Structure 1
């Protein structure tokens, strides 16, 4: 199954979950209120995604004369990808990592850490930058924002359901005395946000696989990207970055220590699976 189709099916599952939970907990009007609340909350984050992400990471703009090689690599890869050249930023940390952000290709930015410039070869850095440009090309900020809106609406519905259960505000008198109906609502209130989060994380992992494949085609060297991922994963385990956990999914490898995270609750696919897929691409190339 292609990752584009997988993303579509996961978004469809998330939407179906919202409709079912909305009908069960809030009815049509309650579901609409929750959706509007989530939409407004996430619209701001989507529209100002580049400014928020860069500010949270402490990134600063890099002038072309400060790092001409980095600018040349970004410009060449953007040309190959059919994208306008994004703005280039540097994060002052020794942990090697990178991310891309921006609501569309015209408002995109790529940020790399100081450590990644010292660790990777030119070809490996090219692979990392191609991966980040792939996120821009594939409109992953938009897709993750759509998932966040629906998941957020489900969380709002569950919060409304908690209060309704507390005050006994569900249904008519017959429904309130029905233990099965109350049990169903209670399970929805508890399990729906967890299910929404799992689907949202699955979408994030699917987009990482797609960015690897797209990036490998942009740089025309899957092996270099695979080698870069191996190095970055090892360094980030030894020297995790201090970032907001909500921002972790943006980076090419998880910047937080991954030993305590279950794969099901991870924003990134297992690094060994990503490398294996890239090596298979290299063999086909």
Structure 2
């Protein structure tokens, strides 16, 4: 089913890309866009995860890292992956103050899970476990190929649509729509690409919450983590995500503005609804309700990304 979903999404994104080529250059532009889209899809299948990891400057880490917080993070991910019957993923940290996380890779054998330094600094160990279990659930459900390729291709569509404004002037009989068509293209093409992304995002996130809570055996900690991440994401910007908005759907919480509302163009479900579903799941699992009070931690300098000498004392769980 996931392979069919990926094929359908790629077909829709390819059609958008070819349509943009037609509006920019008529029949010739359409043919060029078709050839380019075919090559882009093939390249994205094999390399989209590497592009995303490089974009966010993800740094692989392991159990030998000098910082106790990072060592515990790696150990928990490895242990949960083993318990979930998954191959060991690449475990990485992203030097960014905003607490967030994502998974990428074309299959479980080539998966990577990433947490920002802000996530490791601001959340408890149990909450970090919950978040990373959610990311492992994406790997287990084989969502990562769809997520990563869609983000890459949708980003290319948005960039091409913006680039189209440079071809909006002049008279070209092969180019339909003229300046009006070009203006509509610049507005509607990124919007259409976003709608294709949105088509899978909400259901996918609910399912990853459920499977992740089962992997960590702790729905309440994931619920608490979601609330904290959204609160911090509202005021701590993620510059890389702002420059590459199509990649925002990869993260557990929208990194662009921290909006949780179920509006037309949100790629993430409402956080409150996710929290309610997780707490209900905890009841079904026979776990006693456990909700710690949410106390914000003032964001300080990120230290967990330093690969050599730790610059802070290990936390109480390190």
**TM-score normalized by the length of structure 1:** 0.73
The 2-side partners of 1:45 and 1:212 are apart by: 26
What residue number does 1:143 align with?
A: 146
Deviation string 1:192-224 (CA, Å, 9 cap, x unpaired) is 663343132232333222221221222222221
What residue number does 1:272 align with?
A: 272
Instruction: Flag the 1:276–1:47 CA change in 2: closer, same or farther, 3 A.
Output: same
The 2-side partners of 1:261 and 1:38 are apart by: 33
Select 1:87's aligned residue among 90, 96, 105. Answer: 90
Q: Does 1:120 find its partner at 2:123?
A: yes
RMSD (Å), alpha carbons:
4.2
Offset, 1:131: 0.7
What residue number does 2:314 align with?
A: none
The 1-side partners of 2:52 and 2:110 are apart by: 13
Offset, 1:248: 2.0
> Which consecutive residues of structure 2, in runs of 5 or more, have no partner in the other structure?
286-318
Q: Give runs of aligned pairs for residues 1-285 of structure 1, distance below 5 A.
A: 11=9, 14=12, 34-66=33-65, 67-144=70-147, 145=149, 167-169=172-174, 191=188, 194-245=191-242, 246=244, 247-258=247-258, 263-285=263-285
Instruction: Flag the 1:12–1:60 CA change in 2: closer, same or farther, 3 A.
Output: closer
Offset, 1:129: 0.6
Instruction: Flag the 1:250–1:12 CA change in 2: closer, same or farther, 3 A.
Output: closer
What residue number does 2:305 align with?
A: none
Q: Which moved more, 1:194-203 or 1:144-153?
A: 144-153
Number of residue-to-residue matches in the alignment: 271
Tell me the secondary structure at the aligned position of residue 263 of structure 1: coil
The 2-side partners of 1:50 and 1:120 are apart by: 26
Q: Is the 8 A contact 1:205 1:269 kept in 2?
A: yes
Deviation string 1:78-123 (CA, Å, 9 cap, x unpaired) is 1122111111112223322111112221221111122222322222
**TM-score normalized by the length of structure 2:** 0.66
Q: Is the 8 A contact 1:14 1:151 kept in 2?
A: no
Deviation string 1:16-47 (CA, Å, 9 cap, x unpaired) is 986xx79x989999977644422322432332
